[in-house]
A = this chain, B = another copy of it.
Amino acid sequence: MRHAAYSYAMQQILNALCDPTRRNALVILWDGSEHCVCELMDRLDASQSRMSRHMKVLREAGLVIDRRDAQWVRYRRNPDMTPEIMAVMSAVLNAEKSFELEKA
């Protein structure tokens, strides 16, 4: 996948949103508080390496930030996203939710 430099960030964000496990992680992280990888593993039924890699994708897309806290790494949503990206995130997470409700 090639892309002009100017839209590389956008591309990374959309790639990050393409995976259901990553979107589920975002739903959890979107409460604004911190969550360690082991919690996300448990709640999303993902192996350790799998979860760690998914979090790396989200981090490199700028959607979440992490912090070392003793032996844990605490992830949370990036509080410094541009309004445009925040709008994308709200819309995607809200749409996802609406699809889930639709089925229930």
Contacts and interface: CB of A to CB of B under 8 A. Distances in A.
Interface of A: 1, 3-7, 9-11, 13-15, 17-20, 82, 84-85, 87-88, 90-92, 94-96, 98-100, 102-103
A4 B5 CA distance: 34
B20 A11 contact: yes
8 contacts: A3-B20, A6-B99, A10-B95, A10-B99, A11-B18, A87-B91, A88-B88, A88-B92
| Copies of this protein, total | 2
Contacts of A7: 20, 96, 99-100
Nearest to A3: B20
Nearest to A24: B7
